[in-house]
Amino acid sequence: MKYPALRNHVGGSPVDGELPLLDVYDPSHGTVISRVPLSAAREVDAAVRSAQAAFPAWSALPIKERVQVFFRYKALLERHIDELAALVTEENGKIASEARAEILKAAELCEFACSLPQIATGELLEVSRGVECRVERFPLGVVASITPFNFPNMVPNWTIPNAIALGNCMILKPSELVPLSANRIAELLLEAGLPPGVLQVVHGGRDAVEAICDHPDISAVSFVGSTKVAKIVYRRATSQLKRCLALGGAKNHLIVMPDADREMAATNIVASMSGCAGQRCMAASVMVAVQQADPVIARMAEVARAMVPGRDVGPVISDAALERITRYIDEAEAAGAEVIVDGRGVKVPGKEGGYFIGPTIVDHVTPDMKIAQEEVFGPVLAIVRAKSLDEALAVENASPYGNAASVYTESGAVARRVMERANAGMVGVNVGVPVPREPFSFGGWNESRFGVGDITGKGSIEFWTQAKKLTTKWNREAGVNWMS
């Protein structure tokens, strides 16, 4: 095993414990590289107590002092980018350029946290003569962040910088499939000057998550993962009267109009469906081709066929994921769809044990097929044919998800119609992965997000703080009125 068994990180140091261990795999080779402890209520409670102890001093610091940690942490992310990206590649499988992009995005998230003193300034108004109302934002206390496997470094950094810069202490529960990056994040934050106890890493799976939802001293829970688990977490955390923001899965539709720029649409859409091996909640999943799209599809097939698994496309996370993805393609084919680019059954020389599947494009899919309805979470694009923009929008609107949607067109009027009518929280025009960059917030609609607000950017300030409304009067001569 390349790495020794991991430990939870509590109070600024790794802690020993007699916990059951789960194997951690390198998906490029199918080999075990480490083991992760499976924590439960006792470990969560120890982490909460450590966070509670750190909270008074941390929350008492002015925000301008707290963000100094994130200036230094951002510089450390950049300085250690090679090592951090290599770790992401090892535990998640992402190719090197994607892993580097993930770390750079984490640094951009820190950049936003560093701007919070200029953004989260509160409000002030003289509301009647001599009477001032002001709003100040206060941290919630101990909060938790539960993260998925697909971005081992970036998604923890969606929540850590903002929540902590705003004065909270945090329990991070990373995915048990990719636990290595989380410990490294905790180490770098300590090096950046984060006081021990402000961030704890508690490893594990379902038991740890349930203990987080149930713990009476955790005020807020953010969750990123599948819709199935997002619903469980949202219901359980809110039943304990916590605030909860639970981001779920996705089924993103890209509408391609007949006037779309052929090269831009083809290259963007293939990059969107195959990037990170399709394991992105923002990945293109269904292309709705309006009227004549054959030239775009032919070019997409060319681009996708030229991609080499192992070089241009990493593996998916596990054997089980590979089987699930293959089953969606097999079933669509059996139901009459046409697999025009087939990535099934690939073997990568030197990585024969890896969980690889090449980019796969399935044409003439009908909206009732599973491949058109469910989240596949692999490098697979289903193409549904539509006669009109309205028909294409109806296909998009019928999805229970609502993370992202996009349209490829040269017409401003068509673009505007899609922006208005798409039933999704993030909509792109001629953009395959319409991720809003900071200071804009990230978050979907419908079954892609439960709770109010967004997880990054300005939208996250509301989630990680509570507003205190202060009303003051110092001038006696202002007299008495009914609001005095």
Active centre residues (catalytic) = 281
Give the list of residues 6+ apart from residue 387 with CB closer than 8 angstroms, or none: 290, 291
Q: Torsion over CA of 466, 471, 472 and 478, rounded to 10 degrees? A: 170
On whether the CB atoms of residues 446 and 105 are closer than 8 A, the answer is no
Backbone angles phi, psi at 200, to 5 degrees: -120, 150
Task: Return the residues of window 119-158 that contact ligand NAD according to CB under 6 A.
Answer: 146-150, 155
Query: CB 456 → ligand NAD: shortest distance, Å?
Result: 9
| Nearest residue (CB) to ligand NAD, 36 versus 297 | 36
Structure tokens at 449: 């997000």
On whether the CB atoms of residues 224 and 147 are closer than 8 A, the answer is yes
Say which DSSP state 276 is in.
G
Part in contact with ligand NAD (CB under 6 A); list of ranges 22-30, 221-229, 269-277, 304-312: 221-229
Structure tokens at 288: 């709705």
Cis status, amide bond into 439, omega within 30 of 0 = yes
Using rule CB under 6 A, residue 205 touches ligand NAD: yes
DSSP secondary structure letters along 33-75: EEEEE---HHHHHHHHHHHHHHHHHHHHS-HHHHHHHHHHHHH
Residue 16 burial by Cβ neighbours in a 10 Å radius (0-12, 13-18, 19+): exposed
| Nearest residue (CB) to ligand NAD, 279 versus 409 | 279
Query: CB 101 → ligand NAD: shortest distance, Å?
Result: 15
Part in contact with ligand NAD (CB under 6 A); list of ranges 4-12, 67-75, 242-250, 326-334: 242-250
Identify which of 62, 156, 58 has the alpha carbon closest to the alpha carbon of residue 109.
156
| Nearest residue (CB) to ligand NAD, 58 versus 401 | 401
Backbone angles phi, psi at 34, to 5 degrees: -165, 180
Distances (CA, A) of 206 to 62, 146, 176, 229, 233: 36, 11, 10, 9, 10
Kindly provide the residue ranges of all beta strands, DSSP E only, lying in 45-168, ordered along the sequence.
123-128, 131-139, 142-146
Using rule CB under 6 A, residue 88 touches ligand NAD: no
On whether the CB atoms of residues 401 and 249 are closer than 8 A, the answer is yes
| Nearest residue (CB) to ligand NAD, 155 versus 293 | 155
Task: Return the residues of window 351-410 that contact ligand NAD according to CB under 6 A.
Answer: 375, 377, 403
| Nearest residue (CB) to ligand NAD, 89 versus 147 | 147
| Nearest residue (CB) to ligand NAD, 254 versus 290 | 254
On whether the CB atoms of residues 154 and 100 are closer than 8 A, the answer is no
Query: CB 36 → ligand NAD: shortest distance, Å?
Result: 10
The count of residues interacting with ligand NAD (CB under 6 A) is 27
Query: CB 206 → ligand NAD: shortest distance, Å?
Result: 4
Helical spans, DSSP H, in 386-479? 389-397, 412-421, 459-464
Tokens 């080779």 sit at which residue?
29
Part in contact with ligand NAD (CB under 6 A); list of ranges 98-106, 134-142, 205-213, 408-416: 205-213
Using rule CB under 6 A, residue 59 touches ligand NAD: no
Query: Which of 67, 209, 383, 405 forms a contact with ligand NAD (CB under 6 A)?
Result: 209
Cα torsion angle, 296, 298, 302, 305, sign: positive
| Nearest residue (CB) to ligand NAD, 243 versus 449 | 449
| Nearest residue (CB) to ligand NAD, 155 versus 290 | 155
Query: Which of 247, 256, 362, 365 forms a contact with ligand NAD (CB under 6 A)?
Result: 247
| Nearest residue (CB) to ligand NAD, 144 versus 386 | 144
Query: Which of 43, 98, 176, 363 forms a contact with ligand NAD (CB under 6 A)?
Result: 176
113 in the Ramachandran plot: left (φ > 0), alpha (ψ -120 to 50) or beta?
alpha
Task: Return the residues of window 222-241 that contact ligand NAD according to CB under 6 A.
Answer: 224-226, 229, 232
Task: Return the residues of window 417-456 that contact ligand NAD according to CB under 6 A.
Answer: 444, 448
Identify which of 46, 157, 35, 174 has the alpha carbon closest to the alpha carbon of residue 103.
157
Cβ-proximal residue to ligand NAD, closest one: 225
The site string for ligand NAD over 279-318 (x = CB under 6 A, - otherwise) reads --x-------------------------------------
Residues that bind ligand NAD (CB under 6 A): 146-150, 155, 173, 175-176, 205-206, 209, 224-226, 229, 232, 247-250, 281, 375, 377, 403, 444, 448
